[in-house]
Amino acid sequence: MVPSRHIIKLLHGQRGSAAILFVLCLPVLLAFAALAVDLARLNLTKVELQNAADAAALGGARSLTDTGSYPNWSVAEATALDVAQHNFANAARIQDATIETGYWNINNPSLGLYHPGTPGTGDVPAVRVTVALSSTQNNGPLPLFFAPILGIAPRNVQASAIAMITGAGGPFDYAIFSGSTSNNLSINGSTYNIEGSVHANKNVTINGSSITITGAAEARGTVTTNGSNIHIGSRLPNDARDIPMPDQSASIAAAAAAAHQTYTGSKTINGSSITSDPIYVQGSPGTITVNGSSFTATGAVMADGNIYINGSGMASGNSQVCFYSKNGNIYINGSSYALNGVLYAPNGSIYINGSSITVNGSIVGKQVNINGSSFTVDRTDYPITSLSLPASNVQLVE
């Protein structure tokens, strides 16, 4: 039997070893405490900053189409900052944020947010917001509890978000839109390529061959196809939405008057005489005839009555025109015709007859009739810049 004094001596020796072991392990324990507490604090703050950046970027992007020039950079920047300042991080209200505006290219995101001399294909107005706790923003950097014991200084924390406009609004989100509740959207012919979606407030009927719609074919009624080699991304009949067409005529008329480009009766213009300031022909018959040559400006051409577009080769670089018939119809006749822009007849019909016709933008009318061959509409790659429209949606892209 071991004498009791030896047991006591052994225990005293183990107690000393435990103390030494604790001292040796203390830095490791503190490190784990720093990881557990400070890392959680860092992550929470980063989430708070990211939420603030996301909300501010989305708010700024929605404001790009506010009253004024489009895109309205100054309003977007002010709105983004205001939204950021209504958020909190590290239990304090955010005071500062870095707001940047520019273009995001949906076809080449690697370009990042940039400022082209002239917006090109796929360039969409966007807003970037960066929110940080740093030596220069929001009374940072972020103080830590345990990490300083290990020589780790307070940390800079930041989050960034980019939001862009994803739709020009309502019917202009579509490559082809028919607003009539009593007439079908009729697409008849061969070798059609429609980049984007089509929508009808009644039925969609497609007859022909070699017809492709990359997006959806939507209708409040039925979607019917007859022919061969017809490809549709998705068919969405019985869509409950009755999408209205906005009235942009008052703002265009006012801008045309301010630019001294209001005319009465009828007017014939060449593409080269189209300017960035709107042109408005009012009264009776209130018609516009557009003949040939390319245009080099982005703007709107509006008539109270019909618009006749004849000739070929209207597309020019990144320019875009909205041809807007306030109460009449729009007619495109001819072949080998290319247009960058929008055909808009909210109270009338759009008739496209011919071959090798390309519209880079949207075709929006109360009724749309397309007949011919080798017809292309590309809404996917061409944002609408010739009309100031409320954004139907915004999207975070980074």
Residue 74, domain extent:
4-165
In this structure, are 225 and 121 located in the same domain? no
Structurally, how many domains does the chain consist of?
A: 2
- Map residue 110 onto helix, strand or coil: helix
Kindly state the tokens that stand for 103. 């273009």
Task: Tell me if 292 is assigned to some domain.
Answer: yes
Q: Are residues 216 and 344 in the same domain?
A: yes
Residue 391 within a domain: no
Residue where the block lists tokens 């189409």: 65
Residue 20 lies in a domain: yes
> Which is it for strands 123-133 and 321-325: parallel, antiparallel or unpaired?
unpaired
The Cα 63–Cα 85 span in angstroms is: 16
Mean pLDDT of 114-133: 82
pLDDT value at residue 183 = 92
Over range 60-71, report the average pLDDT: 73
pLDDT tens digits along 200-228: 999 999 998 999 999 889 999 999 999 99
Q: Is the pLDDT of residue 340 over 90?
A: no
**pLDDT one-digit tens code per residue, 94-117:** 999 999 999 888 767 888 999 887
**Band (312; pLDDT cuts 50, 70, 90):** low
Strands 113-114 and 198-200: unpaired
Would the pLDDT of 259 be above 80?
yes
pLDDT value, residue 252:
87
Verify that 116 and 223 share a domain, yes or no.
no
Most confident of the following: 65-69, 246-250, 280-284, 289-293: 280-284
Q: Does residue 258 belong to any structural domain of this protein?
A: yes
Supply angle C-alpha 182, 390, 386, rounded to 5. Answer: 85
More confident residue, 15 or 240: 240
